[in-house]
A and B are shown apart, each in its own frame.
Chain A
Amino acid sequence: MIRFEPRETPSRALTLGVPVASALIALLLAAIPLAFAGANILEAYGQMAKGIFGSTFAFTEMLTRATPLIFTGLAATLAFRARLWNIGAEGQFYLGAMAAVTVGTGLIDAPGIILIPIILLTGAAAGAAGMAGPAYLKTRFGADEVVTTLLLNFIILIFLQMMLEGPLKDPMGMGWPQSEPILDAGMLPQLLPRMRIHAGLIIALIAAVIAQIMLSKTVWGFKLRAVGENAAAALHAGIGVKRTLMGAAVVSGALAGLAGVSEVAGLKGYLTADLSPGFGYTGIVVAMLAGLSPIGVVISAVFIASVFVGADSMSRAMGVSSYLADLVVALSLICVLIGGFTARYRILIVRKGAA
């Protein structure tokens, strides 16, 4: 019989050591399917490391992959801290991306210094609007935001497909359902020559720092935490609970929208309906892994991006099925989540009949 007791104050060594240990255990476990697939395990891990750290290109690719995850992880973090379950970051991501291609593909012709901020702002506003709706329904009518945000994802995705076949379709796109490319002036600058890494990463890091400061050092963040931890007491103490939830919703949606902007205006240049391989949903995992800490989100986004990129490159190099990459990713997530649990709870093994 196993019992769990919450640790009142998880120690620092535990909070830092456990994720690392669980990542290592995940790699050990992943060796089992790799061995079944006939791969040389050590070589496989070598290839994985090489896929992440093997070259500047590999490393910047990993960071490029982490960029949207930082945004969506922050989006989930801020909403979840207020106990607002925004499952709709995927949809808000596409709203942001759609807004970016709407204003960035020729509607406004301006130099980058003006155009880029306009693209960022409209993308953030679109994402914010996408979350403000469900939050309004929650605060006004008590509609469960898990349901509304989740279902809105599909509505937005289908709306996007319609737009890509209609008004947003690139006439020069050989009939593919994709948008016109963003003007060169509207693209986020590259950080290194010949690499895909772009200024979206810088914006994401700044967003993480601002989010951390907002949460821990401002009245806004105080209210958000108070509402999340005990809405009844917050209401009783005169904190505008509905207003606080709306604020959290708008910021969360805006961050998810920025993820879409960053992908379309930093990386791809044009919008397709498969721009996101589930960045919105993975953002939830990133946030949970980070224990809902904005700075932690940066670390956990980098970790998850590493696993994705490393496992991918390993499966290509070793000639094993690409599904093995997904398996490694899944194992890592499970191990780290269980690890995080053990950091927060003391596990006691109680023998039956023992006094």
Chain B
Amino acid sequence: MTNHLVLSLNNLSKRFGTIVANDAVSIELHRGEVLSLLGENGAGKTTLMNMLFGHYLPDSGTVDVADEAGVMWPLTLGHPQAALAAGIGMVHQHFTLAANLSALDNILLGSESLLSWRQNRHAARAKILGIMDRSGLTAPLDERVGNLSVGERQRVEILKALYHDVRILVLDEPTAVLTPQEADTLFENIGAMTKDGLSVIFISHKLREVLAFSNRIAVLRHGKKVGEIATDTADETAIARLMVGADTPAVPRPAMQPGAPVLALSGVTVKSDNARNSLRAVDLVVHGHEVVGIAGVSGNGQSALAALISGLATPDQGEMSVDGIQITRFNPQNLLKVGIGRIPEDRHHDGVIGAMSVSENLIVERLSDPDIQKNGFLRRDAIRAHAAQLCQDYDIRGPGPEAKARLLSGGNIQKLILARVFECSPRLILANQPTRGLDLGAASEVGRRLLEARHRGAGVLLISEDLDEVLALSDRIIVIHDGQLIEADTKDRAAIGLMMAGENA
């Protein structure tokens, strides 16, 4: 590792209305270095990187970036093209792919002249296959991105950045959707590439990764840089304390006797146009007082399972019952009514209505409740009091209950959804990737609430690609692979990892 400076962010500040997202943040990055950017949700990590990449224009501050010869130049801010030209690439936390184009087209998008498209496609494909070979990241290049799973889309995003020959790569939570093995491969290969001079800024909440993978760690809190440590002198609790300002309590999980079955699937098949999103003759039982964790790589039928239990898909074969009563009408209204609470995978897309207020989002599943409405008219005062109460109970922080939900940070949006789900005391909770993209504080809050529901007697079906989370929360672990469920009798990471890859251990 050399000591050449390649990037320097100087006192960047950014405000959104009254919210200060970044307050005079300065960060330096050296050639061949992996710098981790840590912080709670809403700490301003993504905003900072979006300013670097030209998506946002900072209110003040400058950025200097080195050219190929190592000379520092000021970067034109507010222009993604300028950032790209300076050799900065970014993989966003929220995908920026065009769903109706193929993976290959998405990777090429913006990098190829339209006129020479035909001739260059071949060479481009060869180059991408080369990158795939070296990085271990694979994606079906000719498949439309709309048909790809979340995990595959993320891989396309990373490939897209690597394809642009970047010298500085920003990864915003890249491993959230990868298997442990895939993540390790990614780290290995990025490690190899940093030896060739690539510098990486790595945003993650997974301390294990941050400690294993980075050279230096910068911690943001409330938009300010609160600390910077060399990784070899850091330890997990010290970093966690810097991030949240206090130690995070471990999640206590007392042993419990499972109750009567709450959810039962027998021989359920859900077909879909996309073979990767189907269930094949699945049996599953979730009891009361029980957390069942579904582990697996994305795109193995998790979305079909979640859609089925949310009421968005109807089984082609087989039966589903809740509390022993067979479900005949598969729609979200009916499944809510029988007592299923749902924490959706994509909380921005399926969980909240961003342009409506927090208080409105808190009642969206209870519109027929007489506490909420009378003769079809909304009970304003009751709704306002309800929102104030839930914001307090669930610690939903933001500009206030009447502010639009999209102004909340990811963690607070998830708290809003938790409040909405748990308030109705559901019999079964479907938690689909409930902590993806959340910081430690919010993630442990989710875990605590799920275990609280288990204590109360509810069944919890936890679908997660974060194996650590599944291991920490679940009473039983079931691996999903290729639309089928396999009960894992072990809690051994490696064995489960192999089952996730389709090899029966």
Contact = CB atoms under 8 A, between A and B. Distances in A.
A238 B336 contact: yes
Given A218-B376, A229-B355, A236-B310, A355 B74 contact: yes
B436 interface: no
Contact of A225 (B63, B74, B356, B368): B356
B353 A226 contact: yes
Given A219-B367, A229-B354, A239-B367, A3 B77 contact: no
A176 B495 CA distance: 87
A32 interface: no
Nearest to A241: B332
Interface residues of B, number: 39
Interface in B62-90: 62-63, 74-78
B81 to A, nearest CB: 11
B184 to A, nearest CB: 34
A238 B62 contact: no
Contact of B332 (A220, A222, A238, A350): A238
A353 interface: yes
Contacts of A225: 353, 356
Contacts of B377: 217-219
Contacts of A5: 57
B342 interface: yes
A240 interface: yes
A232 interface: yes
Looking at chain A's contact residues, is the secondary structure mostly helix, strand, loop, or mixed? mixed
B407 A233 contact: no
Contact of A233 (B17, B78, B349, B376): B349
Interface residues of A, number: 29
A232 B57 contact: no
A232 B376 contact: no
B378 A222 contact: yes
Interface in B369-398: 373, 376-378, 380
A348 interface: yes
Contacts of A8: 16-17, 404, 407
Contacts of B75: 355
Interface string A204-244: 00000000000001111011011001101111111110000
A12 interface: no
A226 B373 contact: no
B364 interface: yes
Interface string B9-36: 0000000110000000000000000000
B67 to A, nearest CB: 16
A9 interface: yes
Contacts of B378: 217-219, 222
A350 B310 contact: no
A228 to B, nearest CB: 9
A233 B351 contact: yes
Nearest to B337: A238
A229 B57 contact: no
Contacts of B332: 235-238
Contacts of B62: 355
B333 A240 contact: yes
B344 interface: yes
B169 interface: no
B137 interface: no
A350 B56 CA distance: 12
5 contacts: A8-B404, A226-B356, A226-B360, A353-B76, A355-B74
Given A217-B377, A238-B333, 4 more contacts: A226-B364, A232-B349, A233-B350, A236-B350
List the 5 closest pairs (A to B, CB-CB), nearest first: A238-B332, A238-B333, A229-B355, A230-B353, A237-B364
Interface of A: 3, 5, 8-9, 217-220, 222-223, 225-226, 229-230, 232-240, 348, 350, 352-355
